[in-house]
């Protein structure tokens, strides 16, 4: 569940991108029911912007399996937490929502369906095979785990526009996500100031690389 603070940060980020004419698409990895992409789509629709694409990457079958790197801020392993939750329960940490549900929700925004690009599967399997066309203006990562987050950064951050926005949903809650982000920027020896949205969300503007 995305907090009000994180939704407002996304709202401000989209407004920033549009107000400063930062070119590129909007990309979300890990969409669950599509709420964040709906906010983006609605803002674009309300401003009569029809030349931007929104790329939605997800398994559309719930969470992929975590690895040994993945545990929450209290130290509990993600595997243990998933084992305790019923896969099809609505509020489960499995975050189950199928593609048809997400497509239905996005239609409610009025944004052109031709500008919505859905890619089904684990990001480790679909990227870089199915990459956004051109550059990215806003990149939102919400797949929780170490492996997926590192993979997304490796392939998508390089095509994020300078002055484009990076949003990490799980930096504070899932240690694997934090490790992936910290490792990536350390390995590439580039500074990235990530500002705190709430206990878990982080946001930053790309300045180099």
What does the pLDDT read at residue 51? 94
Strand-pair category, 160-168 with 202-205: antiparallel
In tens digits, what is the pLDDT along the chain, a chain of 209 residues? Answer: 789 999 999 999 999 999 999 999 999 999 999 999 999 999 999 999 999 999 999 999 877 778 787 777 777 777 666 666 554 445 455 567 889 999 999 999 999 999 999 999 999 999 999 999 999 999 999 999 999 999 999 999 999 999 999 999 999 998 999 999 999 999 998 878 999 999 999 999 999 76
Q: Which domains does the chain have, with CATH numbers?
A: 4-205 (3.40.50.150)
Nearest-angstrom CA–CA distance, 94 and 96: 6
Q: Token digits for 65?
A: 């399996």
What does the pLDDT read at residue 176? 93
**CA dist 158 → 55, 88, 101, 154, 173 (Å):** 16, 36, 31, 7, 25
Task: Tell me if residue 27 falls in helix, strand or coil.
Answer: strand
State which H helix or E strand residue 123 sits in. Answer: helix 123-126
Q: Locate tokens 């409610």: which residue?
A: 108
Closest-CA residue to 167 (of 199, 204, 192): 204
């Amino acid at each position: 569940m995305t907090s009000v603070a994180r939704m407002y940060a996304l709202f401000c980020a989209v407004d920033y991108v549009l107000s400063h004419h930062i070119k590129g698409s909007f990309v979300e990895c890990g969409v669950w029911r599509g709420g964040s992409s709906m906010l983006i789509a609605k803002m674009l629709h309300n401003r009569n912007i029809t030349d931007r694409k929104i790329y939605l990457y997800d398994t559309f079958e719930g969470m992929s399996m975590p690895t040994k790197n993945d545990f929450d801020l209290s130290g509990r392993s993600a595997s243990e937490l998933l084992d305790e939750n019923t896969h099809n329960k609505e509020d489960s940490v499995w975050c189950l929502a199928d593609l048809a549900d997400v497509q239905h929700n996005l239609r409610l925004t009025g944004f052109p369906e031709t500008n919505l690009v859905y890619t089904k599967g684990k990001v480790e399997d679909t990227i870089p095979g199915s990459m956004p066309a051109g550059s990215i203006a806003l990149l939102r990562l919400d797949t929780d785990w170490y492996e997926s987050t590192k993979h997304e950064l490796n392939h998508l951050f390089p095509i994020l526009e300078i002055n484009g926005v990076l949003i990490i949903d799980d930096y504070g809650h899932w240690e694997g996500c934090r490790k992936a982000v910290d490792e990536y920027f350390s390995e590439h020896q580039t500074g990235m100031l990530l500002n705190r949205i709430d206990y878990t969300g982080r946001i930053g503007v790309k300045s180099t690389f």
